[in-house]
Amino acid sequence: MLGLLAIILGLIAGLFLTVKIPAVAFMYLALLVLTTFHSLIYGIKLRTQQRYTNLKLVFYWLCQSLVAFFMNALGDALGLDLATAVVIILGVQIFLDLNYLGHEWAKRWMNRQRTVRVWLQKTGKKPEDLPLEDLTGEMSSRQKQVQDLIAQAKKLRMEADSLLNEADAIYEAEAIQKLGEMTEKSEEEDKS
C-alpha cells in the first residue's frame, strides 16, 4: 500500500513540478527508468516462480542499474553509443520476461479451467458450489508438507551418495593396496 501511495505521489509531483535536468543526465535517467521497469517485471516473474524476496529484487535492480550506468559512461568515454546496446538488451529481457509471464498465466488459467471441468463432471454440482480457495494457486498445508518431504529426500539422497562415494574411495584404496602387495610378492618370487 505504501508503494502504491509513493507511485501516485511521484506521478502527481511529476505532472505539476518542472525540474530542469542537464542534457548529460537524460540518458542516465532513461536507463534508470528502463532498469526499474525491467526489475519490476522480473520481480513479478520471481513471484510466479515462488522465488521472490525483497532483497533479491532490490539487489537485482541495483546491480542492473549500475551496470547500465557503467556501460553508458564507458561508451561516453570511448565515444561509442553503448547506451543503445543496453536499451536493446533490456528491451529484449523485458519482452522475454513478459512472454514467460504470459505463458505461465495462460497455463495456470487452463489448469484451473480443467480443474473446474473435472470437478463439475465428478461431483455434478453447480459451478457456484466450487471451492475456489483450492484454485488460488497458493500452496496448501499438504502441498507444503509434500514439498518439505521432497526437500528432505533430496538432502538424504545427497548424503547417501556422498557416503557411497566415500565407501567406493575406501574400497578402491584397499584394492590398490592389495594389488600393490600382490605385485610385490610376485616380484619377490620371481627374484628367488
Long-range contacts, stretch 6-15, CB < 8 angstroms, 24+ apart = none
- Break the chain into its structural domains and give their ranges: 22-136, 139-192
Encoded amino acid at 26, one letter:
F
Residue by residue, what is the 3-state secondary structure of 103-148? HHHHHHHHHHHHHHHHHHHHHCCCHHHCCHHHHCCCCCHHHHHHHH
The reported pTM is: 0.57
pLDDT at 65 over 90: yes
Q: Which helix (H) or strand (E) holds 153?
A: helix 141-191
> Which of 133-137, 146-150, 188-192 has the highest mean predicted lDDT (pLDDT)?
146-150
Question: What is the Cα 63 distance to its own chain's centre?
Answer: 15
Going by C-alpha positions, the residue among 96, 74, 93 that lies closest to residue 83 is 74
| Distance (Å, whole) CA 124 – CA 127 | 9
Q: Is the pLDDT of residue 160 over 90?
A: no
Residue 94 CA to residue 89 CA, distance in Å, equals 9
The reported pLDDT for the residue numbered 24 is 81
Torsion angle in degrees (nearest 10) through CA of 152, 153, 157, 163:
50
The conformation of residue 17, written as its DSSP 8-state character, comes to -
77-91 per-residue burial string, b: 16 or more CB within 10 A, e: under 16: eeeeebbeebbeebe
Three cell numbers written together for 65: 542499474
Instruction: Say yes or no to pLDDT of 137 above 60.
Output: no
Q: Which of 144, 57, 132 is nearest to 97 (CA)?
A: 57
Residue 131 pLDDT class (50, 70, 90 cuts): low
* pLDDT attached to residue 49: 87
